[in-house]
Structure 1
């Protein structure tokens, strides 16, 4: 058993490595021996690339590394990948985790179809034998059942599904060591995909309880195209299944197309050897249907399950265009017009929607105190149960609930809804088959009475108390308001706190708090919106009856149907507004997340066809952001409540990444621990060229406050800080805002402290690096001015050097303290700005001991570690020259960079450098442990003001070599934890030091 599996693993790993090399530029030409570290490097650059993660698992397994399980476990949990689950099983058995293999194989057999049968059958048998099982059972890709039984066992099995139970007719299929694998011949997979049990002597085999609905999970999407019906489909849990497409007419149920897509296959080929089964793309030509006469059709798989986008009227757009053309021909006829006349007048769609006065609507206004809440239901048992429970809990005497069960496949949902059917004020409607969100919504809306307003509500929402009253009051504030939509965590243009909708699903307590806060704000403004949102859309009765229902013929299962409704209503004179008095939580995407992007793309195109310019109108509205002031107001209301009288400290920083941001975060934590509320203030660019730049204020609190901005350059920021009770401003950088704005802020009357992280206060180049990317030596001011004139500033500020230093000196004079990390930094600032500097603690002290560099044999490889983001100032050019020198002279030295550089490919091309890629701070200790080294190297060429990397080396007890400049050298010399060598040491001499540092001593 072991040798065939070993050969199989090596073969698959090599095949997959070739596939990845063809797919990723960074893997081309990589030798098998270096494939694993290169994949690990790429994974840090592309952490969401699942194909790279799978390759790491294959390579580790081929190298007999137990850590192979990490990659397979991740993919198994994130994507339920059958391929990853299969190789995780191999990994478990290889390293003796038989108990875990048992549980994982049981789930694999129940939920996926067999792949690689020549390996799977002996593997399944080995797991069953190791766990003393009587045998195992599974489903093949074509729907047949197989059972594996020990040679000595009786070959008598009982097959059971639904109410049917009978002896299984067996035919021998394969003979793995000690086992026989049988097919069950008297079984044909039923169309309704039941649970299947296979028993021996009254007990289920390992894997019994096969969930055929899960094995044959189906995903598919359909749309009309120029050449025919276009789309994709797949069975993600059945990698080797062929795709079967059926097209039937909506009227009459006539079959127009019934065929397999793609050749049958016994196992995944190279094209399917991916973490997830690729989609099978297809086009069904019009001539294979009914050509230009193709009617509305429904598209399903072999089991009758509809593709998303079905039913579809594929030529509706063509008929629309034809009718429109015929109508225009009657308005502007030629001298000899054709006799054919259009059957009705089709108005030409406009690029904008005119505003009609309310008097132009067709029906008299109806007072509508009563409300019907329409809730279509399909999947998501827990969210559905919670939503409906909350709706029933918070409804009033004038409100009833209409629930539409869209033939949910979840028996728990059906059972729960059945318990509600007899409740007063609840109507339960059940579709005979799954028809999609739009159809189900319309079925519920048809149940609305003439004098009832309606609310269309997703089943994954979290409504608070009084939510219906808030919506009803908003709609009835004016006679021409047709719909209202509340704010939510995930509702496109109605989203809060982040306007882009990328907000976590809030706990219900947070929903309640936000809704109460909105109600307390008491906003009387009416914010008009271009469209309502169907997650929670309140519709006035008059608007509903004049506009009609949602378009089932165009928008199928959903996405875009409420936008079309909104624009049709707008054409009749109805306005749409945001409700600013409540907040409804939204889990979003319970029903069709797998095809969401395709539905949005298709339906947005359709929407723009029906309402030309729709997307531009929405984008223009988003650019104006009429809801922005209200989001900001709500953020400030929440922040005032969170501050609760505590003193505030503002930490002013730049808009870049790096050590400054880490220090600011640490300072924020310290201030918070001392009882202050920290506000991190940074410059933020304008969203558009016509807008002014702003300050962005982010409270360092658990909650999110993304909307607090104020204009730069005026009194807005000081005014806000005083209103929030700011007691002190910590100025960490002016970069991004400009020295003038920060200097002006320093004169606002609030005490300020300055922390020195670089030399930008007197050097526009920030790091004292000048010509030829070398340390400038800090010359006289006229030389500094020539440097800036020749090379340009790096501080995003055009302030002349002389004025920069004057403003900096004035800001420093009025500071309550100016704090530096060490004497080296303080001495440089005293020379240039004559400022009184106080030394502060950048990090908590850690124990160190004098460095030892163990001697190495002449041919023994020295492994040298570098950490972080290595750019020009951090010594990239020196490192590149050093790596090339090592490669050219075949020196016994190799470099590992935990992090990345400004140009990785040139370093990797030397074949003496390994780069792991970007990392999170929490990952660093493990990365250092996984990349053993002899000593560390800090090649920075500027006088750094600190070095978190040096501290990390110390934590891992790694001696360090650096250049004799700046805080790192001062710290090393003070502690004896390494070597400080001359800055401009020739590359050959530097290589000699790195080869034998034990020959030198630091004094």
Structure 2
């Protein structure tokens, strides 16, 4: 974005954090303002206006679920079903909410996609309780599907059946008998106390003969899934819970053996979920038995512990900073560990693998199979069944134990990960152990490769690399990594083995997904704290800090890769539990966060990750060799041109790589997937040799300079270092203008005056890139580089002529359009009914050189003179608020995939490109032509050239510099004339 340009460094891009926060805050405020306008319009039943404002809010706040749901529902009410469906599907994938799913079903039905609607509805009834207002709608779908009836199940055990015949009910293969249709209370069917058997079941079926009723079978675990969190304060136990499958259900909780308490209060919770009906509670400690001195077990209606339970109530003193601390919770400041021998251990204890298991049969069994196949027979595999509610898991574990493949320990009730691990640690006392999550996949030789790092006496824990391993994540530690399939998992582990090193990289903490612990470390440090961290998250960090205080180190097993799914047992409550436990962790160990931050700043694992990326990039197919495309670090036309060029090169058999500037150097990336190998970053010029060596091994054929803005000077010499040719692609006027945009201080086209005028302009105006070079030096360098290039290519004759004007000694410039020109048949022209007003569309991100001043002044003139013209900016600008105040409708930023639908929604008469400086190409013009619109523009640059080549049918040319009143008059005349011909 050009607004950020003044924060660029000498090379690479380094955005000032204050500036970044400013712009993010500004965009957030714009989204909030638009959302509030939309809500206000909804209350006044101004649906078209509400749709516009909520659409703007949704495009400004792309990831805000509340805004996107409001926009989707408004679109649904107005009949814009495609728009509604798209937003609803994204929300369903993120949150899987009841209201979203049933709204999506309605959208599909109204779009005449009845089969899809019916399939989704049948699945939805298995997981959700439908709202009463759509019962008749469900009846219609079921009748159309020729089903004998339908049913649903609620959290209270109420089974509601709509059928004209008797049905049979089956729970996990056990037939309960035949029943009449209507309401059946499953609790009364079983009559077995507070927790009837149906709550412990997994699958409930309602059948008519051999066939399931519509909606059956029901997933009891999904229907009764509860999201929750509980935490202590100095004086109370607080928390919240709700049931996503039935948000309106009023839940209950029980603390230890106390009475059931109804939880009715709906409260705001810091969560992304847009529709969560979080029921909150607060129970004073002095109201609890023995005034809350004992460990508290808090359960929901289905006897499932709330997240954060069990908990120690007095821990609230730590979190609230009250004094004195209970002795057992005294803070332990992170400090340098005492000296400890790094000599090899005299004897190597036996090893045991400890795997707590709770839910998800498929994932659990995949993990256990990989462990059984790849673990030496001498290693004991200890599995702890944490009172799994899934009978399939219970049966599978019983069978494995009977076959003596595992040692099975079982909790009577769900205790959480730390307590389950401790049970295994007690059993394996005296051995080295490996803690392993049940959602992992381990490779061959994993135990040996992991435990060999435990050889020195001062090594306490060892953790491997993983796709989801916190500080040990690969390929990225900054973004969520793709979940690899089994084949890719094996390949990644193979690369880790090939990348094997004997260098010990010390970690500030181990990670519990796969964590080897020496017997000595366990003996001196003790067990995990299961009374503090409840179901998990943070317990291994606390253990690591305590171990560090006793002189033990924590090491990365960089020669091992373990796949980890992550969050398998915690579902939607994961982030809440993490935040709670991190607060506890930092209260117990002041300075912990700083130590993690310092490790991330140093990033000692970066070189390991880069070596892995180097190994992987060498495996990329390149039958014709490699081509390097040098680009800047921004979105827009250059980025798109590079992407399209890379596609062409790939079709020709080349591996297309892009070189992008980063602070202190550059990043080498795969054009087709820039995030796949994110660690190929090189400090320049210090690591230029390494970069060159990599490119040479990849068989580099030539380099394409698309843009060198932000790059280190060394990049300009890369072709000489590798002895390969380079081609120059002209995308703007950077070769002769440090400001690039060719505007003077008044915002008008500068006319490309003589060097003295240019030098004065540069002196008194901001450069568009921060390179310490004088104008004459820039021109000399450009002359040399343009002459030395194998080819110089420009997308239009106008761009080539401007370059030749400044460098007349250049040989032929090849004209190579960035796209095939668009021809719009007459029948594709949009038709619309006029209400006396004419709608003019402007597309893109409008900066000053793109015509911001023109658009602002034109909008004001139209307002002041009450002209029947509506200006609609499909996109955003340097100052949306001012444009909106000037009467311009601003829809907000967009993505390319949405452009044509956004244009179609505006029902435009024609389009206007207000650029006042010469463009070398214009993707906006192509989009507008694809939308079937005539386009007006000023007589300058590539847009004018392309329209002239098309002739009058595709648009009109307006003299540059025309006064605003004359411009408004011309647009109105053109609108009336165009309307006459439609």
CA offset digits 1:810-829 (Å, max 9, x no partner)? 22232222222222112222
| Structure 2 residue 26 is matched with structure 1 residue 48 | no
CA distance in 1, matches of 2:499, 2:851: 54
Q: Which moved more, 1:423-432 or 1:980-989?
A: 423-432
The within-5 A match list for 1:255-294 is 255=258, 258-262=260-264, 276-289=275-288, 294=293
Counterpart in the other structure of 1:934:
909
CA distance in 2, matches of 1:855, 1:350: 72
CA offset digits 1:217-256 (Å, max 9, x no partner)? 21111111234112211111112211212112xxxxx42x
Q: Which moved more, 1:531-540 or 1:633-642?
A: 633-642
Q: Which moved more, 1:134-143 or 1:876-885?
A: 134-143
CA distance in 1, matches of 2:911, 2:535: 59
Judge conservation of contact 1:128–1:135 (CA < 8 Å) in 2: yes
Residue 44 of structure 1 and its aligned partner are, at CA, apart by 2.2
Judge conservation of contact 1:819–1:837 (CA < 8 Å) in 2: no
Unaligned residue ranges in structure 1 (runs of 5+): 1-19, 171-179, 249-253, 327-341, 686-692
Counterpart in the other structure of 1:439:
419
Change (3 A) 1:549 1:35: same
Match among 434, 437, 457 for residue 458 of structure 1 = 437
CA offset digits 1:14-72 (Å, max 9, x no partner)? xxxxxx99993453654433112322232222233333333234323433454455555
Q: Which moved more, 1:849-858 or 1:715-724?
A: 849-858
The within-5 A match list for 1:100-115 is 102-115=118-131
What's the secondary structure of 1:493's corresponding residue? Answer: helix
CA distance in 2, matches of 1:47, 1:223: 32
Counterpart in the other structure of 2:28:
none
Counterpart in the other structure of 1:531:
509
Counterpart in the other structure of 2:386:
406
Judge conservation of contact 1:403–1:426 (CA < 8 Å) in 2: yes
Judge conservation of contact 1:527–1:577 (CA < 8 Å) in 2: yes
Judge conservation of contact 1:713–1:744 (CA < 8 Å) in 2: no
CA distance in 1, matches of 2:486, 2:530: 33
Counterpart in the other structure of 1:728:
702
Q: Which moved more, 1:580-589 or 1:718-727?
A: 718-727
Counterpart in the other structure of 1:305:
304
CA distance in 2, matches of 1:228, 1:781: 75
CA offset digits 1:572-631 (Å, max 9, x no partner)? 221111112121111111111312222222222222233221111111111111111111
Counterpart in the other structure of 2:313:
314
CA distance in 1, matches of 2:774, 2:702: 29
Residue 380 of structure 1 and its aligned partner are, at CA, apart by 2.5
Match among 520, 534, 538 for residue 560 of structure 1 = 538
Counterpart in the other structure of 1:331:
none
Counterpart in the other structure of 2:402:
422
Q: Which moved more, 1:844-853 or 1:103-112?
A: 844-853
Judge conservation of contact 1:769–1:775 (CA < 8 Å) in 2: yes
Change (3 A) 1:642 1:860: same
CA distance in 1, matches of 2:678, 2:272: 42
| Structure 2 residue 963 is matched with structure 1 residue 980 | no
| Structure 2 residue 747 is matched with structure 1 residue 811 | no
Judge conservation of contact 1:965–1:983 (CA < 8 Å) in 2: yes
Change (3 A) 1:756 1:570: same
Counterpart in the other structure of 1:840:
815
Q: So what's the TM-score if we normalise by structure 2?
A: 0.86
Residue 513 of structure 1 and its aligned partner are, at CA, apart by 1.6
Match among 477, 496, 506 for residue 474 of structure 2 = 496
Counterpart in the other structure of 2:16:
none
The within-5 A match list for 1:481-880 is 481-500=459-478, 502-642=480-620, 647-685=625-663, 693-700=664-671, 704-713=676-685, 715-716=688-689, 717-718=691-692, 720-737=694-711, 740-745=713-718, 747-748=720-721, 749-834=723-808, 835-846=810-821, 848=823, 860-880=836-856
Change (3 A) 1:109 1:663: closer
Residue 456 of structure 1 and its aligned partner are, at CA, apart by 0.8
Change (3 A) 1:200 1:859: closer
Q: Which moved more, 1:901-910 or 1:367-376?
A: 901-910
Match among 854, 858, 867 for residue 882 of structure 1 = 858
Q: Which moved more, 1:887-896 or 1:845-854?
A: 845-854
| Structure 2 residue 867 is matched with structure 1 residue 891 | yes
Judge conservation of contact 1:850–1:975 (CA < 8 Å) in 2: no
What's the secondary structure of 2:237's corresponding residue? Answer: strand
Change (3 A) 1:402 1:673: same
What's the secondary structure of 1:629's corresponding residue? Answer: helix
| Structure 2 residue 361 is matched with structure 1 residue 385 | no
Q: Which moved more, 1:560-569 or 1:693-702?
A: 693-702
Residue 132 of structure 1 and its aligned partner are, at CA, apart by 5.4
Unaligned residue ranges in structure 2 (runs of 5+): 1-30
What's the secondary structure of 2:583's corresponding residue? Answer: helix
Residue 993 of structure 1 and its aligned partner are, at CA, apart by 2.7
Residue 940 of structure 1 and its aligned partner are, at CA, apart by 1.0
Change (3 A) 1:466 1:50: same
The within-5 A match list for 1:49-128 is 49-67=64-82, 68-88=84-104, 102-115=118-131, 117=132, 119-128=133-142
CA distance in 2, matches of 1:974, 1:822: 11
Count of residue correspondences: 927
Q: Which moved more, 1:415-424 or 1:867-876?
A: 415-424
CA distance in 2, matches of 1:658, 1:735: 14
What's the secondary structure of 1:446's corresponding residue? Answer: helix
CA offset digits 1:721-767 (Å, max 9, x no partner)? 445443322122221126x4454446534422221111112211111
Residue 467 of structure 1 and its aligned partner are, at CA, apart by 1.5
Question: Higher relative contact order at CA 8 Å, sep ≥6: structure 1 or structure 2?
Answer: 2
| Structure 2 residue 976 is matched with structure 1 residue 990 | no
CA distance in 2, matches of 1:647, 1:551: 56
Counterpart in the other structure of 2:225:
217
Judge conservation of contact 2:292–2:313 (CA < 8 Å) in 1: no
Judge conservation of contact 2:205–2:217 (CA < 8 Å) in 1: yes
Q: Which moved more, 1:849-858 or 1:467-476?
A: 849-858
Judge conservation of contact 2:916–2:938 (CA < 8 Å) in 1: yes
CA distance in 1, matches of 2:254, 2:33: 35
CA offset digits 1:865-896 (Å, max 9, x no partner)? 32222222211221222233333333333334
Q: So what's the TM-score if we normalise by structure 1?
A: 0.84
Counterpart in the other structure of 2:883:
907
Change (3 A) 1:563 1:633: same
What's the secondary structure of 1:730's corresponding residue? Answer: strand
Aligned-residue CA RMSD in angstroms?
3.8
Counterpart in the other structure of 1:38:
53
What's the secondary structure of 2:620's corresponding residue? Answer: helix
Q: Which moved more, 1:722-731 or 1:231-240?
A: 722-731
Change (3 A) 1:759 1:22: closer
